[in-house]
Amino acid sequence: MQVHDPRTYRRIVLEGSLGLGEAYMDGWWDSPRLDQFFTTLLTGDIKSVADTRWPVLALTVKALLKNCQSQKRAFQVGEEHYDLGNDLYEAMLDSRMIYTCAYWKNAQTLDEAQEAKLDLVCRKVGLKPGMKVLDVGCGWGGFAQFAAERYGADVVGITISREQAELARRRCEGLPVEIRLEDYRDCRSQFDRVISLGMMEHVGQRNYRTYMQMIHDCLKPGGLALIQVCGSRCSNRTTDPWLDKYIFPNSMLPSANQIGKAIDGLLHMQDWHAFGRYYDRTLMAWHDNFEQAWGELSQKYSERFYRMWNYYLLLCAGIFRSGEAQLWQVVLSRGVLPDVYEAVR
């Protein structure tokens, strides 16, 4: 950590992680390897030696008093994060624009790793031609397009981002894919399969049961669902204050315990697959793409945005590298399956 402004220390003492992040955005300090800086802090269990600051307490009280992920607030993260600009995400992501952890087991490039992940998802749920699939949090249509082209599925994708919906419709034109601008709580139809990649992080602990009830109700009896979600090793009510303010408003990572309680007596667990370290590599690939594209992106986005976005990507890389966050693919069924579920890797 290279401190340029001595006010940095007071800001961190008073505001914790929010002050640390805002001081970086203001150019008060730097680090030659932000990802490793955060890995070192988190591996050293900084949370156990640092007092809880007011931004964390404020978020906790807010979460106790109100439903921060209510239907009225559902579209906020779409407007503030996913609608930033398709040019930004096209430059940063792979060619299919998949904004979730890739599967690097036998892959060398980001494109290969994301395609491997999409194929893994389809194989885990036994996707077959003609099956009707609900893609909850469909992003820019990458999975819907892949499932329709490679597996012959009929897909309905829902998103709370207008920018995502418009581009997804263009990318999936001519395929049996319908893209809706819709909150997950408004979905009423039934499907053979339900897929949710990187969306449960926006649900919030008050709504986990509602989310799982939606999956149950949207699945036909005997149907399978796959949830890919970033998970926390501890149960929380809130997220990091800086991430909440600047990147993902009203988001939080569920714990294994919270997921278990949400499906209790409702859905059947068939498989739980963890590969959190792959998110570290995915985030570093996104960061490399962002850096390479900055010359062009800088015509539209400010220097402060550049520092904020670098901080976001490398902070998250450090979080996954340290094991503070994990990545899970969970396969669930509505009712008992007619045969033994064989786990796919």
List residues with catalytic annotation.
Answer: 316
- In the block, which residue shows the tokens 């796919």? 344
The pair phi, psi for residue 239, each rounded to 5°, is -115, -175
Stated as kind and residue range, the H or E segment containing 226 is strand 219-232
Stated as kind and residue range, the H or E segment containing 83 is none
Measured CA to CA, the distance from residue 159 to residue 168 in angstroms comes to 10
User: What does R_g of the chain's alpha carbons equal in angstroms?
Assistant: 20
Tokens for 69?
């992920």
Residue 85 and residue 296 in contact, taking contact as beta carbons nearer than 8 Å: no
Measured CA to CA, the distance from residue 329 to residue 174 in angstroms comes to 30
3-state helix, strand, coil in the chain (%, to 5): 50, 15, 35
Burial class of residue 256 in the structure, from the number of CB atoms within 10 Å of its CB (0-12 exposed, 13-18 middle, 19+ buried): middle
